[in-house]
């Protein structure tokens, strides 16, 4: 879902409005006691920031769907498409941008939502046991990519704005996860990874792999 980038993600507007109102109200009473509220307001402001991104133009590039740190680059089982795949996982901490973007140009073939637990998203079992939302994306030349939003230890809301049949452009914003999480990408085994463990990546800009 494209929309003009407002610098602050629309998902954060209610949180920012409430924290800002409380901070201002507290400032009229006691400036000292308002300091913690202003710190919270600054945290909310940085968490929900949503800068515009310029996606790479290479036709075969798979780009990061989330900001954060690469924690998995390995062969794994894609439980959604029932296949062996190259899995690349990116962990987002509370200081990363949490907008999620399409890793490819393609069409949403299917969407799955699974309620679940809230383990630390950096743990491998989070891929199978945490709350998650998965998209099956098909490129214009027929290759399959699975993109999975996974809730984390303190994340309690996965937002996804697309349904089957929707066409996405590489780098297009399609969802958001509140307060710490991860995104798993499953690619054909023929894909060539372009990132390494521990590398920091930016959603909509960093190339994860070539198809």
Residue with tokens 């075969």: 60
Q: Point out which residues pair with 72 in neighbouring strands.
A: 89
Question: What DSSP designation does 178 have?
Answer: S
What pairing do the DSSP bridges indicate for beta strands 106-114 and 99-101? Answer: unpaired
Task: For residue 74, give the H/E element and its range.
Answer: strand 68-78
Residue with tokens 């439980």: 79
Determine contact, residues 202/68, Cβ cutoff 8 Å: no
- Is 99 annotated in the active site? no
Determine contact, residues 210/104, Cβ cutoff 8 Å: no
CA distance 109 to 118: 27
Residue 51 — φ and ψ, nearest 5°?
-70, 150
Determine contact, residues 150/118, Cβ cutoff 8 Å: no
> Of 19, 23, 181, 202, which residue is the catalytic one?
181
Determine contact, residues 202/32, Cβ cutoff 8 Å: no
Closest to 94 measured CA to CA, from 126, 23, 46, 156: 46
Catalytic residues: 181
């Amino acid at each position: 879902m494209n929309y003009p980038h407002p610098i602050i993600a629309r998902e954060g507007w209610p949180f920012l409005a409430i924290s800002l109102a409380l901070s201002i109200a507290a400032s009229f009473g006691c400036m000292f006691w308002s300091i913690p509220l202003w710190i919270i307001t600054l945290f909310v402001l940085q968490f929900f920031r949503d800068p515009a991104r310029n996606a790479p133009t290479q036709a075969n590039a798979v780009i990061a769907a989330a900001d954060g740190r690469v924690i998995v680059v390995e062969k794994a089982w894609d439980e959604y498409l029932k296949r062996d795949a190259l899995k690349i996982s990116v962990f987002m901490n509370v200081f990363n941008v949490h907008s999620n973007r399409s890793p490819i140009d393609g069409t949403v073939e299917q969407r799955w939502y699974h309620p679940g637990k809230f383990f630390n998203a950096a743990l491998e079992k989070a891929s199978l046991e945490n709350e998650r939302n998965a998209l099956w994306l098909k490129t214009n030349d027929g290759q399959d990519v699975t993109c999975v939003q996974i809730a984390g230890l303190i994340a309690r809301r996965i937002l996804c704005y697309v349904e089957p049949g929707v066409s996405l452009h590489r780098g297009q914003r399609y969802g958001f996860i509140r307060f710490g999480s991860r995104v798993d990408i499953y690619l054909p085994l023929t894909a060539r990874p372009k990132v390494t463990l521990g590398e920091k990546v930016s959603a909509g800009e960093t190339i994860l792999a070539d198809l």
